[in-house]
Structure 1
Amino acid sequence: MLIVHTLSELRHALRHAERPAFVPTMGNLHAGHLALFAQAKPLGDVTVASIFVNRLQFLPHEDFDSYPRTLEADRTALQAVGCDVLFAPREQDLYPEPQTFKVLPDPALADLLEGEFRPGFFTGVATVVMKLFAAVFAGKPHGVAVFGKKDYQQQMVIRQMVRQFALPIDIVLGETQRAEDGLALSSRNRYLSEAERAEALQLSLSLRALGRDALAAAHALPQQLPALEAAAMKALTTRGWTPDYLTVRRRTDLLPAQAGDGDGALVVLGAAKLGGTRLIDNLEV
């Protein structure tokens, strides 16, 4: 596996590639990330990973400085799954000057849910992904990028960006990978104490219960859903969580579910803080 750090090194490494298969990450890789690389491997003529902790998507009070950086372990893991090129830029490599030009996602999608609680987050995500796409796919007739469904709203923002800018990139989605007990794999799970790790499963269990209740009430969702969501939030709160949202939305646009929306049309999404760790999860129903 070739490791490069600058844009010029990356472009030189990919000069003969016709269809790169790309998986962007912030590192601290786990089995969920590695599943995306396994999915990407047969889709292109070269497999590219990036590891970059993107300052633009962190709010001032969030964990940019403490976010786990495990480059050596990540390098070993990527080599084991057959990654061809690892792009690991320093901040000055990707942002040699202040990034005053930014990608502003459609607020109809980006200001909901995560965007409401983390204002500016999707601008930071879209900007860095666009820059990474320009680095990996410039001059290529076509490419593939693989993203996980765990960051559900994020992949919707990126797919919309690719579509509206007519980028020659196929966005492929990977299913959320879970531990044996059902907890969604996340780099931030490493922040959890032993007791918090045992409790963390309650987020996915709450989403499953909310999804079942929503399907049972599909004939009258607009009337019943606010009470169902409030009850789910209260149940987590009584267990010591601080939930931002537990909600049932339409998969197509993340707007609130409507009467008649049923099996195959909905996604249940949640974000909540347990101790000092904010966890997200989702479940398509």
Structure 2
Amino acid sequence: MRTVAALRARVREWRAAGRSVALVPTMGALHAGHLALVAAGFARADRVVASVFVNPKQFGPNEDFSRYPRREAEDAAALAGAGCNLLFAPAPEDVYPAGFATGVHVAGLTADLDGAHRPGHFDGVTTVVSKLLNQAQADFAMFGEKDYQQLLTVRRMAADLDIATQIVGVPTVREADGLALSSRNAYLSADERARAALFPKTLIAARDAVRAGTAVEAALAEAEAALRAAGLVPDYVALRDAETLEPVRSLERPARILSAVRLGSTRLIDNLAVETA
């Protein structure tokens, strides 16, 4: 379906029949991680809607909006194979019509990490997600934990704006060598893809070091050095509180190690839970 009116009409039909609804927001170029979100949606709801929209507002002027993979036919086939009930694929002019003048900003959680390295990115995310949540009126919305800062930001936005949709985090899906699935992995050359496998391995080593009692700053510095030695240029490697994203100096509460690296022209992100002993 292309229009908000058509989407809402179908959701109303489901609700009249007593069906619950889950939303899976995506930018397309779907992979097994996205299909895991669909499966997680079915674990909670009777019907699943997936949206495919490459949102221009979350890309910076020098980022990859123009080359971001777009393959609607393949995405539709993958969603149908996963049993998804409806694909919502609006045109940009329907999402942001002439005169559109409203944005959504979440303070605090978006101040650093990806927020610092991609100015305006999270404003674009929260603006489009707030629209999708309002348009679909779903009971649940599924977001992957790979984009952990995004997950917390959307959850904060929904709580602050009294949006009834429950924001559900779904564990990261990984390749056999540990690399988190991402649509941007398609950008990697064969050599870059081999080196990319060192990204999650380095984070695992840092997590284990912190758990074993290594000072946080030392563990993170060692991780940064290991990434650079492998040709992965880090934007950041950080240990943060799992709920607030405040910096963590010692492991007293559940935390998250988060990192973004650049490999050639590709930017990858990942994170791991770091539980207290």
Distance change (3 Å), C-alpha of 1:231 and 1:98: farther
1:1-285 matches, cutoff 5 A: 4-18=1-15, 19-106=20-107, 108-137=108-137, 143-217=139-213, 224-261=215-252, 265-285=254-274
Conservation of the 8 A alpha-carbon contact between 1:214 and 1:248? no
**Does the residue aligned with 1:13 lie in a helix, a strand or coil?**
helix
Number of corresponding residues:
270
What CA deviation, in whole Å up to 9, does each residue of 1:228-276 have, x standing for no partner?
Answer: 22221122112222110111111011111133426xx111111000111
What CA deviation, in whole Å up to 9, does each residue of 1:185-224 have, x standing for no partner?
Answer: 0000000011111110111011111111112227xxxxx3
Identical columns (%): 44
Distance of 2:44 and 2:241 partners within structure 1: 29
Distance of 1:99 and 1:65 partners within structure 2: 21
Distance change (3 Å), C-alpha of 1:260 and 1:172: closer
Deviation of residue 70 (structure 1)?
Answer: 0.8
What CA deviation, in whole Å up to 9, does each residue of 1:108-163 have, x standing for no partner?
Answer: 211120101011111000000000111101xxxx6111111000000000111111
Coordinate RMSD, CA, aligned: 1.3
TM-score by length of 1: 0.91
**Does the residue aligned with 2:87 lie in a helix, a strand or coil?**
strand
Distance of 2:152 and 2:14 partners within structure 1: 27
Distance of 1:62 and 1:260 partners within structure 2: 35
Distance of 1:17 and 1:126 partners within structure 2: 26
TM-score by length of 2: 0.94
Distance change (3 Å), C-alpha of 1:227 and 1:201: same
Conservation of the 8 A alpha-carbon contact between 2:216 and 2:249? no
**Does the residue aligned with 2:250 lie in a helix, a strand or coil?**
coil
Distance change (3 Å), C-alpha of 1:98 and 1:242: farther
Conservation of the 8 A alpha-carbon contact between 1:21 and 1:145? yes
Distance change (3 Å), C-alpha of 1:260 and 1:272: closer
Conservation of the 8 A alpha-carbon contact between 2:242 and 2:255? yes
Q: Gaps spanning 5+ residues in structure 2: where?
A: none
11-20 or 148-157, larger mean C-alpha shift: 11-20
What CA deviation, in whole Å up to 9, does each residue of 1:47-95 have, x standing for no partner?
Answer: 1000000000000000001000010000000001111111001101111
